[in-house]
Chains A and B, each alone.
Chain A
């Protein structure tokens, strides 16, 4: 092969390997409300009501584990590909994250890293999670079929609950302790960012315009979290 031909092949190959050039990450940090929500009453109660310890004030409620975001494609935007897999760890008496988000068609892989076998079921769709226990260190996977909220629970442990938010968009992300999130490979286009907290979507959306070149940063404001309203 002649040199010019070799150069052409390399250039073409490079272009093919790089892929679309109009996609980029969306990086954001949620503007969390200063007022943290009140700690809810415990799901269970003994003979006595709980009392605060005399040495230190109670720790504030951690809200970020319960927050997930999604970029929903506006009209004319390009479609992306679905994320292949969402890994959700069962760490003992709880999931590593109480709320996860997954596009329709994504595989949810539950990994039991605890020492206790669990039998999980989706309360909204009994057939979503394959039947049978998830043994310690054993996985169990399933695919999200609908854009809806699924509550995964263990009937033998009322406190063990997790939420999977099924969405149509493949551009989803969880939020870290500080409220930051990152959605990779978002194609160029206009999007609306929505925030899910605990059990429902928060009111309002944030418009996000992805240029396709470089990263897109957003700072959506999170409304008060005490009383989330249904969409």
Chain B
């Protein structure tokens, strides 16, 4: 079992390593995924920044074109010359502005326009607050720059709306004199946001503080983390926000997103204006998450080393089975076979050295127990012999009595473990039929548990088949009587279940008195017929042994038997006693055997 254990350890170790790898492996992948996600956000953020810059460039060109319109120049030049702007002038200039805006169909039409004279006064507004005029717009950086002759863009917020604004100076070409400036505004809308992320596979949202102004997707994003992230941005260079910031997790309803914030430039920067690029966070990776995303193609033969895995499995299985067979199955089979042989009596002990390891220990333990039982049986026989007298040589005698308490394994004996086949019963039955004397006692006449250890030769002697009292069939004279069992009752039941108790030798008592073997009439009481049969057998046996039968009377004989039966019954608690006539040392002898069963 040593190598099997080693193999089991190796398999367990390999399984643990495999499990560890399975649990750990997704983590680097997850880190790589997060890094890729961040990189994707950074790229998307940078691209959006670039697109917004391109959009600003286009809008500046649009403003420049707007400002270069002659009618605009003329209107603002005229307005710059008057001390105050009245409503009539405002309306005329506004009409000019509206007509110019109408010309911009097909281009990116602005959402509003503001026309400013060279003093910085608003002459007219188009499409937004168009009834307001006369206020001074100078002072706003964009307007100041435009009045000073610069083209530029900015971001304004107005009534919670974010505008991308551009300004251009209005210059009279002929004199190169400044006549004023115009401002065009484009609202930041969902359409703009969707256009920006059309090819980026991300989403973008524009915010003023916690308020979402526009976005490519309608989401109820928790804006507090975004504001905190904006507040945490260090550095004045807004163009570096996409590269310098770290993605943050945000939630929108039940969905989780990873977001990257970048500040918006211009006037709105003072109002915490920013845009957020975000992507939906994938389900948690890890082992379970990885398993969830495994698809059929991952397990296709082309992408998964089925042969390698299958081969490794078969090799491991084969090695495991081989080790089990080598170290467990085969030794166990050998032990089992030897145990069967032991049970059959083909062997008396298990071969300890033939079995390795624990099996050898089992064999040794069994052998130890066999030896112990043998010793106990021997001791028990001695005790019974002391009680009942020595059992006849060659007979099972008291051993048969003891055998009722012995285990199936015949301790040290050669008896069978299992019950004898029906033929043996027949043989036993035949052998125990009254009048039939077996030539030799069968080795295992009754199929009962075995005899004591081999160290007790007498114990190995076969037990004569009993004759039950109650079937007082007169026994026939044996031809070569080793012994003649006399059953107290009728038909012999062959595998007689344990006629148990120890034999009681009455030779001396009976012979000592040695009365004339003539039964006294009227002396027969209960079982008198049986005693008569036993008496007849005994007399016959004595005669056959050329022993005198003078003085042997049936009355005395019966009296002795009755007395001995009562003694034996009182000592052993048996229900009855059977008597067997046999030859001992060339002399007829009588053995008493307690009968416990009916």
When C-beta atoms are compared, the residue in chain A nearest to B165 turns out to be: A46
A231 at interface (Cβ–Cβ under 8 A)? no
Q: Which residues of the partner chain B approach A2 to less than 8 Å between Cβ atoms?
A: none
B149 at interface (Cβ–Cβ under 8 A)? yes
Q: Which residues of the partner chain B approach A56 to less than 8 Å between Cβ atoms?
A: 149, 169, 171, 176-178
Q: Which residues of the partner chain B approach A50 to less than 8 Å between Cβ atoms?
A: 145, 150-152
A17 at interface (Cβ–Cβ under 8 A)? no
* Residue of B64, B139, B141, B168 touching A92 (CB-CB under 8 A): B139
* Residue of A39, A47, A158, A159 touching B265 (CB-CB under 8 A): A47
Are the CB atoms of B269 and A53 closer together than 8 Å? Answer: no
A57 at interface (Cβ–Cβ under 8 A)? yes
B266 at interface (Cβ–Cβ under 8 A)? yes
| Chain B residues bordering chain A, tally (CB within 8 A) | 47
Q: Which residues of the partner chain A approach B135 to less than 8 Å between Cβ atoms?
A: 91-93, 114-116
A230 at interface (Cβ–Cβ under 8 A)? no
Are the CB atoms of B60 and A53 closer together than 8 Å? Answer: no
Are the CB atoms of B178 and A47 closer together than 8 Å? Answer: no
A55 and B138 contact, Cβ closer than 8 Å, known pairs A44-B267, A48-B152: no
User: Nearest-CB distance from B180 to chain A (Å)?
Assistant: 12
Q: How many Å lie between the Cα of A93 and that of B177 in the bound state?
A: 24
Interface centre among B49, B139, B168 (most CB of A within 10 A): B139
Report whether over half of chain A's contact residues are helix, strand or loop; otherwise say mixed. loop
Are the CB atoms of A44 and B269 closer together than 8 Å? Answer: yes
Binds A, one of B51-59, B305-313, B363-371, B559-567: B51-59
Q: Which residues of the partner chain A approach B517 to less than 8 Å between Cβ atoms?
A: none
Question: Which B residues lie at the A interface, using CB under 8 A?
Answer: 49, 52-53, 55-57, 60, 64, 68, 120, 122, 132, 135-145, 147-155, 164-166, 168-169, 171, 173, 176-178, 265-267, 269-270
Q: Which residues of the partner chain B approach A114 to less than 8 Å between Cβ atoms?
A: 135-136
Are the CB atoms of B267 and A159 closer together than 8 Å? Answer: yes
When C-beta atoms are compared, the residue in chain A nearest to B122 turns out to be: A92
A55 and B144 contact, Cβ closer than 8 Å, known pairs A92-B137, A158-B270: no
Are the CB atoms of A51 and B151 closer together than 8 Å? Answer: yes
* Residue of A45, A47, A49, A93 touching B138 (CB-CB under 8 A): A93
Q: Which residues of the partner chain A approach B147 to less than 8 Å between Cβ atoms?
A: 59
User: Nearest-CB distance from A49 to chain B (Å)?
Assistant: 7
* Residue of A49, A59, A92 touching B149 (CB-CB under 8 A): A59
- Can you report 25 residue pairs joining A to B where beta carbons are below 8 Å apart? A42-B141, A43-B141, A44-B154, A46-B153, A46-B154, A46-B265, A48-B53, A48-B56, A48-B153, A49-B152, A51-B60, A52-B150, A56-B149, A56-B177, A56-B178, A57-B149, A58-B149, A58-B150, A59-B147, A91-B135, A92-B120, A92-B135, A93-B137, A94-B140, A160-B139
Are the CB atoms of B136 and A48 closer together than 8 Å? Answer: no
Interface centre among B68, B176, B270 (most CB of A within 10 A): B270
Are the CB atoms of A47 and B176 closer together than 8 Å? Answer: no
Q: Which 5 A/B pairs are nearest by Cβ-Cβ distance?
A: A94-B139, A92-B136, A46-B153, A50-B152, A93-B139
Report whether over half of chain B's contact residues are helix, strand or loop; otherwise say mixed. mixed
When C-beta atoms are compared, the residue in chain B nearest to A89 turns out to be: B136
Beyond A44-B141, A55-B173, A94-B139, 20 additional contacts (C-beta under 8 Å) are: A44-B154, A46-B56, A46-B164, A47-B53, A47-B153, A47-B265, A48-B60, A48-B152, A52-B149, A53-B64, A53-B171, A55-B169, A55-B171, A59-B148, A61-B148, A94-B120, A94-B138, A95-B139, A158-B267, A159-B141
Are the CB atoms of A93 and B143 closer together than 8 Å? Answer: yes
A53 and B168 contact, Cβ closer than 8 Å, known pairs A58-B149, A59-B148: yes
Contact with B along A76-93 (1 / 0, CB 8 A): 000000000000000111
User: Nearest-CB distance from B133 to chain A (Å)?
Assistant: 9
A-B contact count (CB 8 A): 116
Are the CB atoms of B56 and A53 closer together than 8 Å? Answer: no
Are the CB atoms of B266 and A44 closer together than 8 Å? Answer: yes
Interface centre among B122, B140, B142, B269 (most CB of A within 10 A): B140
When C-beta atoms are compared, the residue in chain A nearest to B151 turns out to be: A51
A51 and B178 contact, Cβ closer than 8 Å, known pairs A46-B266, A92-B136: no
Which residues of chain A in 15-33 are interfacial with respect to chain B, using CB atoms and an 8 Å cutoff? none
User: Nearest-CB distance from B194 to chain A (Å)?
Assistant: 19
Q: How many Å lie between the Cα of A166 and that of B68 in the bound state?
A: 45
Are the CB atoms of B136 and A91 closer together than 8 Å? Answer: yes
When C-beta atoms are compared, the residue in chain A nearest to B50 turns out to be: A47
Interface centre among B136, B155, B165, B166 (most CB of A within 10 A): B136
When C-beta atoms are compared, the residue in chain B nearest to A60 turns out to be: B148
Q: Which residues of the partner chain A approach B164 to less than 8 Å between Cβ atoms?
A: 46
When C-beta atoms are compared, the residue in chain B nearest to A51 turns out to be: B151
When C-beta atoms are compared, the residue in chain A nearest to B239 turns out to be: A47
Q: Which residues of the partner chain A approach B122 to less than 8 Å between Cβ atoms?
A: 92
Are the CB atoms of A55 and B150 closer together than 8 Å? Answer: no
When C-beta atoms are compared, the residue in chain B nearest to A49 turns out to be: B152
Q: How many Å lie between the Cα of A42 and that of B169 in the bound state?
A: 16
Interface centre among A46, A95, A158 (most CB of B within 10 A): A46
User: Nearest-CB distance from B116 to chain A (Å)?
Assistant: 10
Q: How many Å lie between the Cα of A48 and that of B142 in the bound state?
A: 12
Are the CB atoms of A53 and B169 closer together than 8 Å? Answer: yes
Q: Which residues of the partner chain A approach B154 to less than 8 Å between Cβ atoms?
A: 44-46
When C-beta atoms are compared, the residue in chain A nearest to B271 turns out to be: A156
Q: How many Å lie between the Cα of A24 and that of B166 in the bound state?
A: 51
Q: How many Å lie between the Cα of A43 and that of B177 in the bound state?
A: 25
Q: Which residues of the partner chain A approach B139 to less than 8 Å between Cβ atoms?
A: 92-95, 159-160
Interface centre among A42, A58, A115 (most CB of B within 10 A): A42
Are the CB atoms of B148 and A58 closer together than 8 Å? Answer: yes
Are the CB atoms of A53 and B267 closer together than 8 Å? Answer: no
User: Nearest-CB distance from A41 to chain B (Å)?
Assistant: 9
* Residue of A45, A59, A91, A116 touching B266 (CB-CB under 8 A): A45
Q: Which residues of the partner chain B approach A159 to less than 8 Å between Cβ atoms?
A: 139-141, 267
Are the CB atoms of A47 and B52 closer together than 8 Å? Answer: yes
Q: How many Å lie between the Cα of A2 and that of B46 in the bound state?
A: 98
Interface centre among A44, A114, A159 (most CB of B within 10 A): A44
Q: Which residues of the partner chain B approach A47 to less than 8 Å between Cβ atoms?
A: 49, 52-53, 55-56, 153, 265
Are the CB atoms of B153 and A59 closer together than 8 Å? Answer: no
When C-beta atoms are compared, the residue in chain B nearest to A59 turns out to be: B148
Q: Which residues of the partner chain A approach B144 to less than 8 Å between Cβ atoms?
A: 42
Contact with B along A123-164 (1 / 0, CB 8 A): 000000000000000000000000000000000001110000
Q: Which residues of the partner chain B approach A39 to less than 8 Å between Cβ atoms?
A: 148
Q: Which residues of the partner chain A approach B64 to less than 8 Å between Cβ atoms?
A: 53
Q: Which residues of the partner chain A approach B178 to less than 8 Å between Cβ atoms?
A: 56, 59
